[in-house]
Amino acid sequence: MTLRIALDDTLAQRARAASRDIAVDVWAHIDAHTTDSVERTALRLLGIVGVDEVDVPLVNVVVERGRDLLDGGIVAPFVDAMLSTGETAQTVAEGVAAGRLTLAPVSDERRPLVHSRARELAAEGVARIDAVRQRREDLVAATGDPLKPWLYVIVATGNIHEDVVQAKAAARAGADVIAVIRTTAQSLLDYVPYGLTTEGFGGTYATQENFRLMREALDEVGEELGRYVRLCNYASGLCMPEIAAMGSLERLDMMLNDSLYGIIFRDINMERTFVDQYLSRMLNARAGIVINTGEDNYLTTADALKKGYTVVSSEFLNEEFARRAGLEPWQMGLGHAFEIDPSIPDQVVYQVADALLVRQLFPEAALKYMPPTKYMPGDIFMGHVVDAMFNFVGMFTGQDIQLLGMLTEALHTPLLQDRYLSIRNAKYVFESSRGLADSLDVRTGSAIQTRANETLRQAAEQLEHVRDVGLFTALAAGEFADVRRDPGGGRGFEGVVVRAPEYFNPFYDALREDPPTGAPVGPPAGGQTTSATGGA
């Protein structure tokens, strides 16, 4: 992109400095706590799968049976049981669920042996993630990447088998990324359903088997088409790190993962969210997964023209939290949206200003641009026009991931033909305007420059205010999306545990360690091609 706005750089510096201070304050909380879902994630990475006789996931059963041990971490007593019995992680979990085995504190004399073996098992678990990442990089290297913006489309039937049919059809029509929308309110479940699912409302359950089936299907259609088709799902909610682990093992390429979304839009306890998002992002970082943040949702509850600065503030925070978890800039799919009321004069001018501001503030990030929803009309023809303007702004401002709007967005779940028309719309707009930005400049004193600098000023001032009062207090006051949340309330608070001084979880260190020689260390391989196809 050569199109640039003359921004006041000191404002961006102030915003980043405030974001760092906010993150430092929150980090004191993260370092002092663990959660049910963090401990369950460690068990999953040890290799535990399946459910008990009443379909409760084994990892949930083990954590509940070992609740008195969680402040020190579940891994050490669990591995101690493995060593004492000579059994595998799976059979020990089954034994605990059946009442045959009981977890107990690790004695001082056994602790060195237990910790040593636990670290070996953690390294093996992370090695499995490294191997999956390497497989992705090999596949991408063989075909190259499409030009950007990538065409990102959703499937959401509730039935994973029907999702596969729709996903393959979308890929054949030109989609680069398939997102399987998660069934409504799964983020509020404090467990991950097991196995294939054939029902859901507004989406399909995120399960490891559903991940595996869709990945297999996209690999099949990708081989048919001669290109790699990316898969996206959700790593958010009460099981955020567990689902991130599942996505890492089943080669998902993108996962929705936001520091604030669950707090604001699902009323998940903020203490739990910040602890969970850290481990989930460490897993995404190691797996080479691009996260998608959820700032676009702010504009469904707050006015986009007046509160657009809150999107930028949140992006600065998400960038800082992502960086601390080890995510590279190319893995930061920071979100924003085309949500200003179309009836406002110069709406597209303001949309260009907002989108170009985000592009310039985060030049290496994999920006994800979301389509209009709040003001999408019931008139499908007008809706198609609005989506075309959204596609134009995305191309003109150099976005990376374009979630395509559907002409029937306001009426019903998109049909195959609706998705096909949306892909055709985007392809036409992208290819007809790909070089336009290179031929233009943003005039000094123009509405675009004025809007962008004013938005950045408001974001910097908001972040400095949040730094002064604390992020928990700011969320309680409704600073983001005009939604107020209680720091001591929300779902999942009972699953937050204060760490004891002897807390031990070897996966944190294993995920931080450099991969062995030959393992992936950088962004997805493969150069640009000449192809045109460049939340629950």
**At how many degrees (to 10) do helices 58-65 and 36-45 cross?**
120
**Degrees to nearest 5, angle at CA 246 with 330 and 83:** 120
Q: Which structure tokens are listed for 165?
A: 């049919």
427 a catalytic residue: no
Distances (CA, A) of 368 to 7, 176, 266, 427: 22, 13, 21, 17
What string of DSSP letters covers 190-257? SS---S-----SSSB---HHHHHHHHHHHHHHHHHHTS--EEEEE--STTHHHHHHHHHHTT-SEEE-
Question: Could you tell me whether strands 33-35 and 496-498 are parallel, antiparallel, or unpaired per DSSP bridges?
Answer: antiparallel
Catalytic residue among 296, 354, 400, 418: 296
Catalytic residue among 130, 368, 418, 503: 368
DSSP letter for each residue of 118-160: HHHHHHHHHHHHHHHHHHHHHHHHHH-BPPSSEEEEEE--S-H
368 among known catalytic residues = yes
Please, which residues bridge with residue 528 across strands? 145
510, 286 Cβ separation under 8 angstroms: no
Q: Is 116 exposed, middle or buried (0-12, 13-18, 19+ CB in 10 A)?
A: exposed
Give the H or E element holding residue 369. strand 368-370
CB 127 within 8 A of CB 514: no
Active site residue 296: yes
Q: Annotated catalytic residue: which of 152, 261, 369, 503? A: 261
Residues annotated as catalytic are 261, 296, 368
